[in-house]
A and B are shown apart, each in its own frame.
Chain A
């Protein structure tokens, strides 16, 4: 059953394999499908990875800076940000920075401890796909993405704060 949804809560086919942080170039390339590569491996073996002809994206762990991949953002179709625990909120800021400082236009995916009650806020920070934990019911997730009808502040999803829309 697909566990990946978009901002409308609709299931998305997921061809991507998350390459673990401790993978080597060889173990990464031994995996099937499109590869979602950790930032360190990406920076160490960018050329080899690109020569492999595989479809490539990069994931940043919580606490890893967007600066690590800033030169490649124009060509990356997918960047994923990890939530090692749902209480770790660093990736919300990384998402906002990727979108607003670096104008990243591609898919931005939340991976890791992605639960129902974070989805609305993730969407507001510019995430476009959500790799849900097994415990989250799909219909709950769809509902969660509409938890609030509007919001006060300037966000990635709605740059105009409420005071300019009131």
Chain B
């Protein structure tokens, strides 16, 4: 993974000192709340319902065991001994004290971590597919490109006061687990007819109040122009994006109002000045970044293992786990293992300090000391030897991290919701838990098959509910918490936005409603058709009829 040199370290130290002084001035009454607000947000600090929340960046999901241990230590020292992994490859502390935040940032800096631009109206953490670099279906490793974007976007002086937040995703895999199409800018690595590497560039995707799928602004952008072209896209947004209404301030609204063709033309006009200028990437710089992401020292191994084969015949739990949580690897004899942070009874994405340290040890023992964080709020060991899988599985079981539900119903994506977040209309964690408990059976999960269920506690859509096959949104109706359900969303290369089923439901009704939706699917599916395929074939109506049918 990327390692800091003296420049990266220096900038991070400068940042900590800057924020230490800003915090000091705020606490001394020299800085008004409204003036401190964007400064603290750009350092990941929210004022939440019960305490501040600090959002720490995990750049494009890459995390070392050393960094994870530091997160665990911070959660013990400054928080309540746990942390929450979010859908945007960040990790959040829910209980820090404001005066201590500069100290937390200083501790994070010891392991090359930070909270820079994890919130606020600026360019956020660039995210990617958690299998980048190891997926068998990879076009190119997205991580070096993410790092180049990280550096370009960090403290970019022109883009720290944008109309609204700005999220970029880069995807180099066929599968796309990064929800690239619903980002302000989505970048798909691709090769042109001459084999030259570049990007398909999409703009104007996003979730929130007005969800939209990104549109192609450029079919092929040669790699060396990446940063100058991004600069022009964001510059036009900075100039023309709406600032009069925060709900219409995202780039998606501007692109829609202006039309993609005009947006493209105006970006081109600006880009004529930046193209081939000093911001143009050089092969030296790309090679420099790529050197940080070379393969670990893989052994030459057979792609089969007798012990694993035996267990697959005798151990049901192991077999279920292999089926759901273990993925193919580009290297023979290796597998990608997802640690499911979705055991019923623990909020999705939460890990205790003890679990984090345990996982860090496993990463050292089985995975070259590196981990990934996924949009689905799970952790991933990307480079596990096939023959180590039995030992790894046995270890994970001890800490409730072997739940074999990856990609199944209980692998719920869920925001912190009304239990923590001051923006939320409704709670989301208890909804997730009620569903997880109701369906907590591998046979049931497996029979339903591949499906995504996403829960957001409000329109801001941190739980990505628009792009869940089943999307649940907390709404406020006259001071009471209700839940609206949408079906048919998807977050991959065939991204689609869910369609609202009908009137919303009370909290206690949700498990029954989900059950009814699944009944329709199981009745109507053809063969092993996935939920989303059945939905796309039969549409919303049969689900609606069954869910809202009057009881006799």
To the question of whether A and B form a pair in one complex, the answer is: yes
- A148 near B279 (CB under 8 angstroms)? no
Known contacts A150-B10, A152-B11, A163-B282, A88 near B239 by CB under 8 Å: no
* Residues on B with beta carbons closer than 8 Å to the beta carbon of A94: 239
Are A152 and B152 neighbours in the complex by a CB distance under 8 Å? Answer: yes
Given contacts A86-B161, A96-B158, A124-B157, contact A153 B238 (CB under 8 A): no
What is the number of residues of chain A that contact chain B, defined by CB distance less than 8 Å? 39
Determine if B155 is an interface residue (Cβ-Cβ < 8 Å): yes
Do A125 and B158 touch across chains, with their CB atoms under 8 A apart?
yes
CA distance A155 to B273 in the complex (A): 13
In the bound complex, CA of A86 to CA of B38 (Å): 10
Chain A residues with Cβ below 8 Å from B156 are: 152-153
B484 at the interface (CB under 8 A from A): no
Q: Does B330 contact A (CB under 8 A)?
A: no
Q: Which one, B11, B35, B273, contacts A117 given CB within 8 A?
A: B35
- Taking a contact as CB atoms under 8 Å apart, the answer to whether A93 and B7 are in contact is no
A156 to B22, CA, bound (A): 26
Check if B273 sits within 8 Å of A101, measured CB to CB. yes
Complexed CA–CA distance, A5 and B35 (Å): 21
How does the 8 Å CB contact mask read for B509-537 relative to A, with 1 for contact and 0 for none?
Answer: 00000000000000000000000000000
Say if the beta carbon of B18 comes within 8 Å of chain A: yes
Interchain CA distance A149-B151 in the complex, whole Å? 15
Tell me whether B161 and A115 are in contact (CB under 8 A).
no
User: Shortest Cβ distance from A53 into chain B, in angstroms?
Assistant: 35
Q: How far is the CB of B396 from chain A (nearest CB, A)?
A: 39
B contact face: mostly helix, strand, loop, or mixed:
helix
Q: Given A92-B161, A96-B158, are A154 and B277 also a contact pair (CB < 8 Å)?
A: yes
Cβ B35 vs Cβ A86 within 8 A: yes
Interface membership of B508, Cβ < 8 A:
no
A87 within 8 A of B: yes
Residue in B5, B121, B156, B227 with the greatest tally of chain A CB atoms within 10 Å: B156
A86: chain B residues within 8 A (beta carbon): 35, 161
Interface size class of B (residues with CB under 8 A): 35 or more
Query: In the complex the two chains form, is B152's CB within 8 Å of A93's CB?
Result: no
Most chain A CB within a 10 A radius of its CB, from B161, B243, B282: B161
Known: A88-B161, A89-B160, A159-B278. Contact between A152 and B235, CB under 8 A?
Answer: no
| Contact of B158 with A93 in the complex, beta carbons under 8 Å | yes
B36: nearest chain-A partner, CB-CB: A117
**Are A150 and B161 touching (Cβ within 8 A)?**
no
B235 close to A93 (CB less than 8 A): yes
* Any A CB within 8 A of the CB of B295: no
Determine whether B14 belongs to the interface, using a CB cutoff of 8 Å to chain A.
Answer: yes
Chain B positions 238-252 with a Cβ under 8 Å from a chain A Cβ: 238-239, 243
Q: Which of B121, B160, B235, B278 has the most CB of A within 10 A?
A: B278
Contact of B155 (CB < 8 Å), options: A65, A148, A154: A148
- In the complex, the answer to whether B239 meets A152 with C-beta atoms within 8 Å is no
Chain B residues within an 8 Å CB radius of A88? 161, 243
The residue in A89, A118, A122, A155 that gathers the most chain B C-beta atoms within 10 A of its C-beta is: A89
Is A166 within 8 A of B161, CB to CB?
no
Query: Which B residues are in CB contact (< 8 Å) with A101?
Result: 270, 273
Whether B162 is near chain A, meaning CB under 8 Å from some CB there, is yes
Would A155 and B277 be within 8 Å (CB), given that A89-B162, A163-B288 are in contact? no
CB neighbours (8 Å) of A125 from chain B are 157-158
Closest residue of chain B to A96, judged by CB? B158
Tell me if A12 is interfacial: C-beta within 8 Å of chain B. no
Query: Chain A, 133-166, contact with B by CB distance < 8 Å: what is the 0/1 string?
Result: 0000000000000011111111100011111101
| Inter-subunit contact A155/B235 (CB<8 Å) | no
Q: How far is the CA of A26 from the CA of B239 in the complex (A)?
A: 32
- List residues 266-324 of chain B with CB under 8 A from any CB of chain A: 270, 273-274, 277-279, 281-282, 284-285, 288
Q: Which of B162, B243, B282 is the most central at the interface, judged by chain A CB atoms within 10 Å of its CB?
A: B243
Additional A-B contact list (5), CB under 8 Å, known A151-B11, A153-B156: A87-B121, A100-B274, A117-B39, A153-B153, A166-B288
Q: Can you list the 8 inter-chain pairs with the closest CB atoms, starting with the nearest?
A: A89-B161, A124-B157, A121-B157, A154-B279, A163-B285, A152-B151, A148-B14, A92-B158
Q: 7 A-B Cβ contacts within 8 A?
A: A89-B162, A90-B239, A94-B239, A101-B273, A150-B7, A152-B151, A152-B155
